[in-house]
Amino acid sequence: MTTETPRPQGESLQVFKGTFIHATDTSPMETLAPRILGVNGMGKIVFIETVDKEEELSQTWHFQKKNIRVLQQREEFFIPGLVDTHIHASQYPNMGTCLDLPLLEWLVEYTFPVESKFKDLKFAEDTYTKVVKRTLRNGTTTACYFATIHTESTLKLCSIINKLGQRAFVGKVCMDLNNLFPTYKEQLCESVSETRRFVTELTGRMYPLVKPIVTPRFVPSCSSELLQQLGSYANTEDLHIQSHISESRAEVELVKSLFPDCKNYTDVYDKHSLLNDKTIMAHGVYLSNEELKVFHQKGAAISHCPNSNISLCSGLFDARNALNHNVKVGLGTDVSGGYSPSILHAMRTAIDTTKIHGFQTSNYERLSYQEVFKLATLGGCQALGLDHVTGNFEVGKDFDAILVNTSVPNSPFDIFPNDTQEDIFQKFLNLGDDRNMVEVYVAGKKVVPFPNA
Ligand code: GUN
Ligand code: ZN
What is the structure's pLDDT at 6?
Answer: 60
What are the two backbone dihedrals, phi and then psi, of residue 317, each rounded to the nearest 5 degrees?
A: -75, 135
Domain contains 41: yes
Confirm or reject: Cβ of 86 under 6 Å from ligand 1.
Answer: no
Atom of ligand 1 nearest to the CA of 312: 9
Domain contains 4: no
Report the alpha-carbon distance of residue 380 to residue 84 in Å, rounded. Answer: 7
Confirm or reject: Cβ of 306 under 6 Å from ligand 1.
Answer: no
Task: Examine the domain organization and report whether 162 and 61 are in the same domain.
Answer: no
Ligand approaching nearest to the C-alpha of 311: 1
Confirm or reject: Cβ of 76 under 6 Å from ligand 1.
Answer: no
218 Cα–ligand 2 center, Å? 9
Atom of ligand 1 nearest to the CA of 305: 9
Confirm or reject: Cβ of 153 under 6 Å from ligand 1.
Answer: no
Task: Examine the domain organization and report whether 122 and 218 are in the same domain.
Answer: yes
Ligand approaching nearest to the C-alpha of 106: 1
Q: Choose the final residue of a domain: 383, 416, 432.
A: 383
Beta pairing partners, 304: 331
**DSSP classification of residue 434:** G
Domain contains 7: no
33 Cα–ligand 1 center, Å? 42
177 Cα–ligand 1 center, Å? 14
Domain contains 403: yes
Domain contains 142: yes
Task: Examine the domain organization and report whether 397 and 374 are in the same domain.
Answer: no
**DSSP classification of residue 376:** I
Task: Examine the domain organization and report whether 150 and 33 are in the same domain.
Answer: no
Atom of ligand 1 nearest to the CA of 218: 2
Using a 10 angstrom Cβ sphere, with 0-12 exposed, 13-18 middle and 19 or more buried, the burial of residue 414 is exposed
Domain contains 5: no
Confirm or reject: Cβ of 308 under 6 Å from ligand 1.
Answer: yes
What is the structure's pLDDT at 4?
Answer: 58
SS3 (DSSP) at 343: helix
Confirm or reject: Cβ of 371 under 6 Å from ligand 1.
Answer: no
Q: Choose the final residue of a domain: 361, 383, 405.
A: 383
**Ion ligand 2 residues within 5 Å by Cβ:** 282, 334
Task: Examine the domain organization and report whether 297 and 424 are in the same domain.
Answer: no
Q: How many domains does the chain have?
A: 2
What is the structure's pLDDT at 1?
Answer: 46
Half-sphere exposure of residue 257: CA atoms within 13 angstroms, side-chain side:
7
Atom of ligand 1 nearest to the CA of 220: 2
Task: Examine the domain organization and report whether 364 and 225 are in the same domain.
Answer: yes
Render 61-125 in DSSP notation, one character per residue. HT--GGGEEEPPTTTEEEEEPEEEEEEEGGGGGGTTS--SS-HHHHIIIIIHHHHHGGGSHHHHH
How far is residue 47 from each of residues 81, 117, 122, 405, 413, measured CA to CA in Å? 18, 47, 44, 23, 33
Task: Examine the domain organization and report whether 103 and 32 are in the same domain.
Answer: no
Confirm or reject: Cβ of 320 under 6 Å from ligand 1.
Answer: no
Domain contains 284: yes
Q: Choose the final residue of a domain: 383, 409, 430.
A: 383
164 Cα–ligand 1 center, Å? 26
Task: Examine the domain organization and report whether 286 and 345 are in the same domain.
Answer: yes
Question: The CATH number of the domain where 27 resides is what?
Answer: 2.30.40.10
Confirm or reject: Cβ of 273 under 6 Å from ligand 1.
Answer: no
What is the structure's pLDDT at 452?
Answer: 77
Task: Show pLDDT as tens, one digit a residue, over the chain (453 residues).
Answer: 455 556 555 569 999 999 999 999 999 999 999 999 999 999 999 999 999 999 999 999 999 999 999 999 999 999 999 999 999 999 999 999 999 999 999 999 999 999 999 999 999 999 999 999 999 999 999 999 999 999 999 999 999 999 999 999 999 999 999 999 999 999 999 999 999 999 999 999 999 999 999 999 999 999 999 999 999 999 999 999 999 999 999 999 999 999 999 999 999 999 999 999 999 999 999 999 999 999 999 999 999 999 999 999 999 999 999 999 999 999 999 999 999 999 999 999 999 999 999 999 999 999 999 999 999 999 999 999 999 999 999 999 999 999 999 999 999 999 999 999 999 999 999 999 999 999 999 999 999 999 976
Element (DSSP H or E) covering residue 403: strand 401-405
Task: Examine the domain organization and report whether 192 and 264 are in the same domain.
Answer: yes
437 Cα–ligand 2 center, Å? 26
Report the alpha-carbon distance of residue 273 to residue 354 in Å, rounded. Answer: 32
Report the alpha-carbon distance of residue 139 to residue 137 in Å, rounded. Answer: 5
Ligand approaching nearest to the C-alpha of 281: 2
214 Cα–ligand 2 center, Å? 14
For ligand 1, atom 7, the nearest C-alpha belongs to 337
Ligand approaching nearest to the C-alpha of 84: 2
336 Cα–ligand 1 center, Å? 9
Question: The CATH number of the domain where 150 resides is what?
Answer: 3.20.20.140
Task: Examine the domain organization and report whether 124 and 48 are in the same domain.
Answer: no
186 Cα–ligand 1 center, Å? 17
**DSSP classification of residue 10:** G
Residue-range definition of the domain harbouring residue 200? 82-383
355 Cα–ligand 2 center, Å? 23
367 Cα–ligand 1 center, Å? 26
Enter the pTM of the model. Answer: 0.97
Identify whether the C-beta of residue 303 lies closer than 8 Å to the C-beta of residue 319. no
Task: Examine the domain organization and report whether 62 and 151 are in the same domain.
Answer: no
Task: Examine the domain organization and report whether 299 and 437 are in the same domain.
Answer: no
Confirm or reject: Cβ of 111 under 6 Å from ligand 1.
Answer: yes
Domain contains 430: yes
Report the alpha-carbon distance of residue 446 to residue 39 in Å, rounded. Answer: 12
